[in-house]
Amino acid sequence: MRIVDLYNYKYAYMIYKILLNENHPNIIIYGKDISKDFILTILEELFCIKKKVIYNEEIYYEYNDIFYYFDIRKIKLDIKNTFINTIQKITKTYNYYTNKNNYIIIDNFNKINPIIENKLKVLIEKSYTTKFIILTSSFDKILEAIKSRCLCLRLPINNIIDRELYVKKYIRDNDINIDQKKIKIFIEGNNNIDTIIKIVNGFKDPIQELFLKIIKLLNKKLNKNLKDLKELSYNIKISVIEVTELLKKIVNYYISSNLSFEKKKKIIKFIKVINYLKKNNYKNII
């Protein structure tokens, strides 16, 4: 993948230009749409590198001649010392092969344990031969001491027009045959481009599957089929999905539709009540 192929390519090029300056500070990139592919695409295009994978007995990370990639979700508290020692070894080395700084990418930083974060803070403060790039969806949770050592960049949420243009281009470029009405529902029901692309490619998201069934049922012109309603309600009850996410999709769908302002207000109020009642009576979800 190239930078130009990213849906948020404008922001990717902005970060690309920052990285061109070898003396740039550590970087925090935050936002709801941040992903591994986003930053790796930038680095791979900037340094023309190839991926390699290395395995550790206790932790897993990816590396090549330029960067080390860690997913904090895989760093549990019981392996904190192994993780910190690995980071420390990297920060004490200089990349003589490329004559450039090493890069340590820490993804899903919002999932970090406070004990690990405090140990990591010390390494970030003392590191001179390594640049840290932190990816997170919760900027406010990062320690101020870490923020003060970084350039903080917000990646805005893509709007519905951007999503539509990108998804339709992706479908056209990859010669995917899909119903236009389904594309509309996918785009209006998801804020995350990566999720939409997975769905378009056949990935079955359980929340998306239930969402589509609900929309189909609610959009019927005739009286709702009671049997379908009961079956759908039961499927939601026995599922392990996060119902709040399902409700968000429903709200997003109708807010993006051509309904009147008053109808949209009623839907939001109704969903608010459902959100309160859903733990007590699953039929109220519908």
132-147 pLDDT, tens digit per residue, is 999 999 999 999 999 9
Task: Answer yes or no: do 13 and 60 share one domain.
Answer: yes
Task: Answer yes or no: do 173 and 259 share one domain.
Answer: yes
The residue out of 112, 137, 154 marking a domain boundary is: 154
Q: pLDDT grade, residue 73 (50/70/90)?
A: confident
Task: Answer yes or no: do 143 and 21 share one domain.
Answer: yes
Task: Answer yes or no: do 103 and 9 share one domain.
Answer: yes
> Whole-model pTM?
0.65
Tokens found for residue 244: 């709040």
Mind listing the pLDDT tens digit for each residue in 93-151? 877 666 778 899 999 999 999 999 999 999 999 888 899 999 999 999 999 999 999 99
202 lies in which domain range? Answer: 160-285
DSSP letter for 95, please.
B
The residue that leads in pLDDT, 70 or 157, is 70
The residue out of 137, 154, 171 marking a domain boundary is: 154
Count of domains for the chain: 2
Task: Answer yes or no: do 143 and 229 share one domain.
Answer: no
Percent of the chain scoring above 70 in pLDDT: 87
For the residues 35-64, what does the mean pLDDT come to?
Answer: 78
CATH for 71? 3.40.50.300
Tokens found for residue 207: 């929340």
- In this predicted structure, what is the pLDDT of residue 283? 42
The residue out of 123, 154, 185 marking a domain boundary is: 154
